[in-house]
């Protein structure tokens, strides 16, 4: 992609919390931004009140943000598409844009997770669905939608194999309150953003059970070791996992109750069944699907991810959370670091 390519206007597909917050951030910088959601009633509400009362009530849309109804026309005439739907709707979104997308129009997404069932990385899914001509990028990092919408200081990462596109996309968001870093390591960024959701469920369970700060810190640290193992096995850069999209997002979602993944864990730890906890949270919880898919990728790569494994047992096999914590504690004694062999 040339440095001069025009990304404007950006069409954001998915008028949930994160799609809306990202659209607001771009529009606040004066970039023409179109926001589309699948629900007609929701469209009418946003169009009339100039806010997203369903997901981010009370925060007015900037002037440069328009809510669009005719998504087909918008896909044909935009300069860039940003997908912000849950991972289970990602393939559907690609299929929707593909027939109307002009050649070479860049596509990015803010979805965190893997492809349902196969556990494929979304970058690979997008590449094979859209072909080679569209620059692709992933947006990830420690960033709660409500805080970005409220213009509170935030930093996140844009990853693309196309350095010019990464720079341009980061530039759409960059502002005195939003610091956006770029990287080429699309693999590492996707792995960090996916696995941290499963680990946030585990931290929530531990806190919900009343285990203390020590247990939470142990889960975060040993969880990080699991992310690193998977990332190394799949060929990501270790450095990425120590950045915003790795440790940054892991700390955010394991420690703050705004995280829906952590909320799910808290509800389970406090005694709700998994089904009741899902209903209680009532929002998108990516870690539910990711747990299964991450486990699949770990088995394929022949690596151990004991915390993710216990989360799967609790979510899908009816294991008692206390027994799962016990199982983690009762693993054989291990070295955190072994001396180098001369
Ligand atoms: N919220 C956050 O703070 C952050 C979220 N993310 C990631 O962003 C992604 C989206 O999350 P978020 O915005 O929070 O989720 P929300 O639940 O707030 O919104 C999801 C949006 O996707 C729409 N949607 C669901 N299924 C489809 C579909 N099949 N076709 C079109 N639209 C669909 C929903 O429409 P409807 O309203 O009609 O159901 C809704 O507008 C997730 O992967 C999440 O992990 C990443 C960073 C921060
Ligand atoms: O990814 C997020 C912040 O970076 C949002 O986390 P939750 O999906 O757990 O709410």
Given its phi and psi angles, is residue 151 left (phi above 0), alpha (psi -120 to 50 degrees) or beta? left
d(CA 65, CA 60): 10
Q: Which fold has domain 10-184?
A: Rossmann fold (3.40.50)
Q: Report, in angstroms and rounded to the nearest whole number, the Rg of the chain calculated over CA atoms.
A: 20
Domain with CATH 3.40.50.720 in the chain: 10-184
**Ligand 1 neighbourhood includes 113 CB (under 6 angstroms):** yes
Domain with CATH 1.10.1040.10 in the chain: 194-330
Over the stretch 86-121, which tens digit does the pLDDT of each residue have? 999 999 999 999 999 999 999 999 999 999 989 999
CA 180 to ligand 2 center in whole angstroms: 17
Number of the ligand 1 atom closest to the C-alpha atom of 85: 22
For the chain, list residues with pLDDT below 50: none
The pLDDT value recorded for residue 333 is 80
The pLDDT value recorded for residue 102 is 94
Ligand nearest to the CA of 139: 1
Number of the ligand 2 atom closest to the C-alpha atom of 141: 4
**Ligand 1 neighbourhood includes 240 CB (under 6 angstroms):** no
Q: Taking each helix axis from N to C terminus, what angle separates 186-208 and 260-269, rounded to the nearest 10 degrees?
A: 30
Neighbours of 64 (CB within 10 A): 18
The pLDDT value recorded for residue 341 is 80
**Ligand 1 neighbourhood includes 198 CB (under 6 angstroms):** no
CB burial readout 191-219, b (16+ within 10 A) else e: bbbbbbbbbbbbbbbbbbbebeeebbebb
| ipTM exceeding cut-off 0.85 for this assembly | yes
The pLDDT value recorded for residue 279 is 98
Over the stretch 226-256, which tens digit does the pLDDT of each residue have? 999 999 999 999 999 999 999 999 999 999 9
The pLDDT value recorded for residue 338 is 82
Q: How many CA within 13 A on the CB side of residue 234? A: 26
CA 3 to ligand 2 center in whole angstroms: 31
Number of the ligand 2 atom closest to the C-alpha atom of 286: 8
Which residues are catalytically annotated?
196
Ligand nearest to the CA of 154: 2
The pLDDT value recorded for residue 328 is 81
The pLDDT value recorded for residue 332 is 76
d(CA 291, CA 303): 15
Provide CATH code, domain 194-330.
1.10.1040.10
Indicate the helix (H) or strand (E) that contains 142.
Answer: none
Whether residue 262 contacts residue 150, with contact meaning beta carbons closer than 8 Å, is answered with no
């Amino acid at each position: 992609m040339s440095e001069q390519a025009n990304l404007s206007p950006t069409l954001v597909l998915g008028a949930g919390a994160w799609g809306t917050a990202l659209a607001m951030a771009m529009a606040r910088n004066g970039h023409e931004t179109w926001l589309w959601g699948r629900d007609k009633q929701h469209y009418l509400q946003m169009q009339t009140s100039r806010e997203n009362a369903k997901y981010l009530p009370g925060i007015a849309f900037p002037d440069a943000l328009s809510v669009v109804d005719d998504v087909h026309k918008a896909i044909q005439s935009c300069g860039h598409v940003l997908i912000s739907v849950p991972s289970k709707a990602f393939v559907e979104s690609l299929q929707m844009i593909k027939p109307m997308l002009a050649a070479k129009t860049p596509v990015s997404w803010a979805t965190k997770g893997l492809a349902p069932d196969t556990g494929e990385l979304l970058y690979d899914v997008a590449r094979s669905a859209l072909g080679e001509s569209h620059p692709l990028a992933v947006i990830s990092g420690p960033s709660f939608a409500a805080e970005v919408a409220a213009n509170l200081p935030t930093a996140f990462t844009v990853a693309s194999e196309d350095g010019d596109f990464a720079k341009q996309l980061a530039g759409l968001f960059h502002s005195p309150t939003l610091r956006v870093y770029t990287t080429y390591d699309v693999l590492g960024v996707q792995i960090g953003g996916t696995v941290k959701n499963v680990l946030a469920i585990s931290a929530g369970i531990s806190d919900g059970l009343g285990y203390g700060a020590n247990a939470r810190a142990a889960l975060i640290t040993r969880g990080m070791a699991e992310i690193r193992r998977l990332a190394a096995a799949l060929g990501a850069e270790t450095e990425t996992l120590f950045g915003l999209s790795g440790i940054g997002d892991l700390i955010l979602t394991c420690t703050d109750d705004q995280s829906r993944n952590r909320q799910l864990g808290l509800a389970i730890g406090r005694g709700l069944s998994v089904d009741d906890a899902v209903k209680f949270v009532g929002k998108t919880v990516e870690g539910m699907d990711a747990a299964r898919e991450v486990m699949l990728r770990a088995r394929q790569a022949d690596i151990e991810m004991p915390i993710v494994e216990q989360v799967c047992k609790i979510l899908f096999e009816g294991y008692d959370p206390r027994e799962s914590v016990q199982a983690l504690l009762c693993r054989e004694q291990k070295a955190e670091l072994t001396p180098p062999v001369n």
